[in-house]
Amino acid sequence: MKIAYQGEPGAFSEAAALQLKADALLVPCRSFEDVFESVKTGATGYGVLPIENSIGGSIHRNFDLLLEHEVPIVGEVELPVVHHLLAFADTTLERVRRIYSHPQALAQCDRFLRTLSGVEIIATYDTAGSAKLIADQKMQDAAAIASARAAEVFGLVPLRSSIQDYEHNVTRFIVIGHQPLSSETPDKTTIVFTLPLGPGTLFKALSVFALRGIDLTKLESRPIPNRKWEYLFYVDLAAARDELSCGRALAHLAEFAPMLRILGSYPSHKPTPAGSAERAADRRSEALA
């Protein structure tokens, strides 16, 4: 199995991919768009993409890309995220003048960053990529916010550990692909739709699910480009699209939603045995050594 993810080895997306299949061939990509293209062209069978974080919120770009590409969601995985401030062993916190990381990681560590003075905060494309940048350019006065595995991969050490704003920091990743990820029965469906302008239209839309006892686990609105103050509504349903009640609700919604698209119906996240992803990461670290 080949799985694409955004970032460098040591990225949290890599750890999420390892939860799916510990011995998968992982393909790092520069951008989220590249992950979609990799799966779309068949270069990889699946792609792993962060979609929301319990501290930083939604990764809006990936919502937009789901609509732009005809690649369905086939699974999801949740990953506890622990951020570390990484630098060279002889770098002290007082010496750090620049901190690099992905915008989401910076947002998740905002409280810690606000305790620092005289430090430039620089957003990059990836957490592990930030660690790689410091290692490659031998930056003695800089640090990166990234994972403990990124420290191992790029020869850095933590100056501070667990610097995220809240202890329980979890990122949910979606898995995209053209084939089912497993034989598990789907129990979750993601849709996107538009609504006509007018009073009560969103209430009417959501009522088609409430009347049938279908739980909405997420509701996200995104602006429609070139249509001022009009929105796309992304919804996660705690039901499979093939369930009778869900099928009827979607048919009811389609009666008045100008656009309705099912982005995927898939098994929801099930916790994996503790330490399995870490053991897989350790094996990969040994292979890189």
Q: What is the pLDDT of residues 87-135, one digit of tens each?
A: 999 999 999 999 999 999 999 999 999 999 999 999 998 999 999 999 9
| Amino acid at position 215, single letter | D
pLDDT for residue 13 is more than 90: yes
Residue 274 confidence (pLDDT) above 70: no
- Integer CA distances (angstroms), 6 to 34, 121, 164, 227, 268, in order: 8, 21, 21, 30, 22
pLDDT of residue 25: 96
Q: Is the pLDDT of residue 37 over 70?
A: yes
Selected catalytic residue, list 91, 127, 171, 189: 171
The residues near 1 (Cβ < 8 Å, ≥ 6 apart) are: 20, 21, 24, 25, 45, 46
**What residues does 158 pair with on adjacent strands?**
86
Q: 3-class SS at 37?
A: helix
Domain ranges of the chain: 2-80+169-180+270-277, 84-161, 188-266
DSSP 100-155: EE-HHHHHHTHHHHTT--S-EEEE-S-HHHHHHHHHHHT-TTEEEEE-HHHHHHHT
Domain 84-161 is found in CATH 3.40.190.10: yes
pLDDT at 289 over 50: no
pLDDT score recorded for residue 281: 46
Q: Which residue has the tokens 């390892």?
A: 18
Q: What is the pLDDT of residues 184-237, one digit of tens each?
A: 999 999 999 999 999 999 999 999 999 999 999 999 999 998 899 999 999 999
pLDDT tens, residue by residue, 159-178: 999 999 998 899 999 999 99
pTM metric for this prediction? 0.86
Q: What is the pLDDT of residue 288?
A: 39
Q: Say whether 185 sits in a helix, a strand or coil.
A: coil
Quote the pLDDT of residue 272.
Answer: 62
pLDDT category of residue 277 using cuts at 50, 70 and 90: very low
**DSSP β-bridge partners for residue 87:** 157
Distances (CA, A) of 214 to 110, 224, 247, 289: 36, 26, 11, 50
The predicted-structure confidence for 56-75, as pLDDT tens digits, reads as follows 889 999 999 999 999 999 99
pLDDT band at 284 (very low <50, low <70, confident <90, very high): very low
Give the model's confidence band at 271: pLDDT under 50 very low, under 70 low, under 90 confident, else very high.
confident
User: Would you place residue 267 in the very low, low, confident or very high pLDDT band (cuts 50, 70, 90)?
Assistant: very high
Report the pLDDT value the prediction gives residue 56, as an integer from 0 to 100: 84
Do the domains 188-266 and 84-161 match in fold? no
**CATH number belonging to the domain at 188-266, selected among 3.40.50.970, 3.40.50.1100, 3.30.70.260, 2.160.10.10:** 3.30.70.260
Tell me the one-letter amino acid at 136: D
Query: Active-site residue among 88, 173, 193, 209?
Result: 173
Fold of 2-80+169-180+270-277: D-Maltodextrin-Binding Protein; domain 2 (3.40.190)
For residue 41, count other CB atoms closer than 10 A to its CB: 8
- At residue 285, does pLDDT exceed 60? no
pLDDT the model gives residue 273:
55
Mean pLDDT of 262-274: 84
How does residue 286 score in pLDDT terms, banded at 50, 70 and 90? very low
Query: Burial code of 231-265, b = ≥16 C-beta within 10 A, e = fewer?
Result: ebbbbbbbbbbebeebeebbebbeeebeebeebbb
Instruction: Evaluate whether 146 touches 131 at the Cβ level (below 8 Å).
Output: yes
Q: What is the mean pLDDT of residues 35-44?
A: 96
Task: Note if 171 is an active site residue.
Answer: yes
